């Protein structure tokens, strides 16, 4: 199904400098194994995995080295063959040290241990879901929610849509774009598997209109799938946010505190769809990540496939290293990525890119008092009042902040991006959000 030609969008948002031309024409390249592999036990939302190996253990590529603990958790596989050198607390892209397994890769690289292949035609929904869990698949969009949970809606929730998020609205990043061009049919097959696992017969792929080649390729690939459509979205940040994607394509609004499941939709990332395809059809666990290494501060921008656990520094070195005017290394994109201070932190399953911004790309402007221009309110895709929320947080008026919906904020950063006063709106709101959530937890009857 070709899908609708009219461009879909949402209210609010902004147009940051796209920066995609740095890497959009570069094919995904496989980076060789690094010298050290650092595998965090916490690569997903939920409980960290429990290590099954200790110092000096020999591990094979693809072997389970940490098992799931509790329901919202997943196993972790060794990305390479080698020897465990330590299990330590170490640097993590979140900025907080986490427990991690350090592996010295063997001289000879070996093929990963595969799981039994499943026939995508005959595999049952349960088999697919089990495989998604066993393969350690998490959402590739950033939050890294274990995928199998999203595919198991609670009893009584009627799901009628599986959406693939091909918006890639974060500026600079192009890995989803490359994956859609280079693995077009696998993306569609992955989506079919996701639809089957969730028992849903309608699927679609949403792509922003700044990627016409991806739209054309995906349209061609879905021609023989009557239940899958390609939807063209207007290029606008944050179109790729789940709530904005669902709104643009179906017109449905996910209420505050609710999930896409509550409006009958499951949203998955392009990378997640491919991970599902690889796990089911090839039997591969999730041990590598496709990512874009880009920005004015890196000498040779690239789209790469790297082993999970590769230290950021080794990835940057592989791309020629930093330029002399590099000022910031960010895990993820410029709007929501996390600035890094320790480049020994490793690439994780959900790392979508490493962005190195140069002095030239950073706008430095004076911070002034709020001039009440209302731009932040105009652009907030969730119709919040960012300046008000920031002010209430600053004044520690958390009850009022709660009333004004501080916990609804998804921290997309559009408000701070447009703010002429250069106020740290997201930082204040994040603080208020944390305080209000703590307040709400205490309020719950024991």
CB of 255 to other proteins, least distance (A): 4
CB of 16 to other proteins, least distance (A): 6
Residue from 256, 299, 438, 440 touching other proteins (CB under 8 A): that is: 256
Residue from 26, 408, 434, 439 touching other proteins (CB under 8 A): that is: 408
Residue 56: burial class (beta carbons within 10 Å; 0-12, 13-18, 19+)? exposed
Question: Is the Cβ of residue 26 or residue 385 nearer to other proteins in the bound state?
Answer: 385
CB of 183 to other proteins, least distance (A): 29
Kindly identify the residues of this chain, within the stretch 306-345, that bind other proteins according to CB under 8 A.
Answer: 311, 313-314, 317, 322, 324, 326-330, 334-344
* Beta strands, E only, 13-130: 28-30, 37-40, 50-51, 58-59, 64-67, 76-77, 82-90, 98-105
**Cβ count within 10 A of residue 226:** 9
Q: Which has the closest alpha carbon to 228: 259, 253, 207?
A: 207
Is 305 a binder of other proteins (CB under 8 A)? no
| Side-chain-facing half-sphere of 279: CA atoms under 13 Å | 29
Cis bond leading into 238, ω under 30°?
yes
Is 291 a binder of other proteins (CB under 8 A)? no
| Helix and strand element counts for the chain (H, E) | 13, 17
Question: Is the Cβ of residue 17 or residue 71 nearer to other proteins in the bound state?
Answer: 17
Q: What phi, psi does 396 have (nearest 5°)? A: 60, 30
Residues 248, 251, 253, 259, Cα dihedral to 10° = -70
Question: Is the Cβ of residue 162 or residue 254 nearer to other proteins in the bound state?
Answer: 254
Is 370 a binder of other proteins (CB under 8 A)? yes
Is 394 a binder of other proteins (CB under 8 A)? no
Question: Is the Cβ of residue 98 or residue 388 nearer to other proteins in the bound state?
Answer: 388
**Cβ count within 10 A of residue 70:** 10
Token digits of residue 12: 């609010």
Token digits of residue 442: 């205490």
Question: Is the Cβ of residue 82 or residue 238 nearer to other proteins in the bound state?
Answer: 238
Alpha helices in 105-151 (DSSP H): 125-134, 147-150
Kindly identify the residues of this chain, within the stretch 155-174, that bind other proteins according to CB under 8 A.
Answer: 171
Residue from 128, 357, 390, 401 touching other proteins (CB under 8 A): that is: 357
Give residue for tokens 């998804």. 410
CB of 435 to other proteins, least distance (A): 16
Is 366 a binder of other proteins (CB under 8 A)? yes
Question: Is the Cβ of residue 131 or residue 375 nearer to other proteins in the bound state?
Answer: 375
Query: Taking contact as CB under 8 A, which single stretch among the options 13-21, 108-116, 187-195, 204-212 is the one that binds other proteins?
Result: 13-21
Question: How many positions of this chain bind other proteins (CB under 8 A)?
Answer: 74
Q: What phi, psi does 406 have (nearest 5°)? A: -60, -35
Kindly identify the residues of this chain, within the stretch 189-228, that bind other proteins according to CB under 8 A.
Answer: none
Q: Which has the closest alpha carbon to 171: 350, 353, 10, 345?
A: 353
Question: Is the Cβ of residue 372 or residue 441 nearer to other proteins in the bound state?
Answer: 372
Kindly identify the residues of this chain, within the stretch 73-132, that bind other proteins according to CB under 8 A.
Answer: none
Residue from 280, 355, 392, 436 touching other proteins (CB under 8 A): that is: 355
What contacts 216, CB < 8 A, 6 or more positions away?
A: none
């Amino acid at each position: 199904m070709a899908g609708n030609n009219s461009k879909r969008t949402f209210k609010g948002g902004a147009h940051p400098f796209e920066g995609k031309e740095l890497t959009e024409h570069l094919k995904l390249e496989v980076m060789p194994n690094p010298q050290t592999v650092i595998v965090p036990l916490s690569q997903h939302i939920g409980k960290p995995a429990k290590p099954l190996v200790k110092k000096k253990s020999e591990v094979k590529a693809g072997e389970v080295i940490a098992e799931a603990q509790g329901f919202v958790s997943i196993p972790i596989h060794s990305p390479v063959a080698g020897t465990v050198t330590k299990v330590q607390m170490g640097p993590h892209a979140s900025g907080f040290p986490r427990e991690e397994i350090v592996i010295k890769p063997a001289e000879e690289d070996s093929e990963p241990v595969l799981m039994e292949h499943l026939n995508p035609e005959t595999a049952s929904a349960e088999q697919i879901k089990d495989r998604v869990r066993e393969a350690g698949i998490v959402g590739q969009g950033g939050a890294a929610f274990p995928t199998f949970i999203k595919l198991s809606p609670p009893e009584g929730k009627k799901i009628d849509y599986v959406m693939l998020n091909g918006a890639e609205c974060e500026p600079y990043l192009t890995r989803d774009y490359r994956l859609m061009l280079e693995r077009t049919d696998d993306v569609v097959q992955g989506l079919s598997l996701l639809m089957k696992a969730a028992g849903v017969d309608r699927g679609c792929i949403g792509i922003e209109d700044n990627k016409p080649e991806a739209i054309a390729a995906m349209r061609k690939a879905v021609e023989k799938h009557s239940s899958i459509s390609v939807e063209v979205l207007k290029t606008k940040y944050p179109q790729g946010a789940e709530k904005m994607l669902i709104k643009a394509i179906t017109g449905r609004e996910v209420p505050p505190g609710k999930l896409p499941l509550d409006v009958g939709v499951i949203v998955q990332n392009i990378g997640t769809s491919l991970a599902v395809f690889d796990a089911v059809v090839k039997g591969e666990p999730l041990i590598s990540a496709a990512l874009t290494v880009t920005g004015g501060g890196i000498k040779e921008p690239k789209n790469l496939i790297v082993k999970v656990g590769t230290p950021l520094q080794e990835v940057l070195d592989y791309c020629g290293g930093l330029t002399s005017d590099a000022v910031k290394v960010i895990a993820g994109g410029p709007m929501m990525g996390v600035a890094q201070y320790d480049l020994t932190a490793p690439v994780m399953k959900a790392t979508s890119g490493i962005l190195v911004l140069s002095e030239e790309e950073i706008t430095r402007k004076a911070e002034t008092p709020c001039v009440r221009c209302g731009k932040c309110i105009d652009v907030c895709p969730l119709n919040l009042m960012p300046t008000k929320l920031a002010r209430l947080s600053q004044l520690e008026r958390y009850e009022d902040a709660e009333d004004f919906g501080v916990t609804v904020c998804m921290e997309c950063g559009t408000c701070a991006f447009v703010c002429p006063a250069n106020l740290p709106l997201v930082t204040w709101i994040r603080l208020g959000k944390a305080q209000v959530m703590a307040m709400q937890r205490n309020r719950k009857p024991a």
